[in-house]
Amino acid sequence: DVKVTQSSRYLVKRTGEKVFLECVQDMDHENMFWYRQDPGLGLRLIYFSYDVKMKEKGDIPEGYSVSREKKERFSLILESASTNQTSMYLCASTETHSLSERNEQFFGPGTRLTVL
Amino acid sequence: QKEVEQNSGPLSVPEGAIASLNCTYSDRGSQSFFWYRQYSGKSPELIMFIYSNGDKEDGRFTAQLNKASQYVSLLIRDSQPSDSATYLCAVVGSNFGNEKLTFGTGTRLTIIP
């Protein structure tokens, strides 16, 4: 079974702190994603990466950065946390397919971040 | 217009009945379509995917795709209380490779015993 793990299930930080969210997958997937999920807004893509040291902005990258030094690990960084970044953060991974016939994303358990 | 639209619900269906969930999308070039189920406090899990026009059946679940009308639906037959969850529609668009999914906001489904 594909396993995607995230470093913390719950996290409480203060405004202005630097926050690191870690995600690790064990299936040698090329692509990894960071989403945030908020009531009424659904899942929104923050950043994604299709290879080591490669990254692409998603729909809401402002206030975030990412790092992918190893294929299995994708980190989300909040340089200076703000209260509007309180949310559920979900990491996902998927293989690359030459045809977009199947693109199942496997999700981690999520990190509920609260910024005070 | 949102890229992927779903009725947020809640949708209440009696146990044993058919639950019908709908999703429309704006990118006519979209190729693949996914239905995820998300229980409260849990992460999404894939239940169906479809990429050809028509119906695809898997157990009690049927996905229906109509690319001309740009909608995809999910039917759940013989609904069970364990089907109570939020159902997310997701679409692979045509704007970047084959990897990026765009999600709808989800439909909350409640099965009434």
Averaged over successive runs of 10 residues, the pLDDT of chain B (113 residues) comes to 84 96 91 92 92 93 95 97 96 67 92 95
Map tokens 């009308």 to a residue: B69
Q: What single string gives the DSSP state of each residue in A33-45? A: EEEEEETTTEEEE
What is the pLDDT, as a whole number, of residue A14?
Answer: 97
What is the pLDDT, as a whole number, of residue A98?
Answer: 47
Residue A77, strand partner residues: A20, A65
Which element (helix H / strand E) includes A106? strand A106-107
Is A107 in contact with B43 (Cβ distance < 8 A)? Answer: yes
What is the pLDDT, as a whole number, of residue A13?
Answer: 97
Overall size of chain B counted in residues: 113
What is the pLDDT, as a whole number, of residue A99?
Answer: 47
For chain A positions 93-112, those within 8 Å of chain B (CB to CB) are 94, 96-105, 107-110
Is B103 in contact with A98 (Cβ distance < 8 A)? Answer: no
- Pick the residue of A37, A74, A103 with the most B CBs within 10 A to test the interface with B by mutation: A103
Query: B86 is written with which tokens?
Result: 């939020």
Q: Is A38 on the interface with B (CB under 8 A)?
A: no
| Cα B32 to Cα B15: distance, rounded to the nearest angstrom | 30
**Is residue A85 classed as helix, strand or coil in its secondary structure?**
helix
Instruction: Give A-chain residues touching B32 at CB under 8 angstroms.
Output: 100-103
What is the pLDDT, as a whole number, of residue B20?
Answer: 96
Q: Are A39 and A9 in contact (CB under 8 A)?
A: no
What is the pLDDT, as a whole number, of residue A45?
Answer: 93
What is the pLDDT, as a whole number, of residue B25?
Answer: 94
| Cα A74 to Cα A22: distance, rounded to the nearest angstrom | 6
| Cα A58 to Cα B101: distance, rounded to the nearest angstrom | 10
CA distances from residue B24 to A19, B2, B33, B70 in whole angstroms, order as listed: 36, 9, 11, 6
Is B51 in contact with A31 (Cβ distance < 8 A)? Answer: no
**Tens digits of per-residue pLDDT, A24-71?**
999 888 889 999 999 888 899 999 998 898 899 998 999 999 999 999
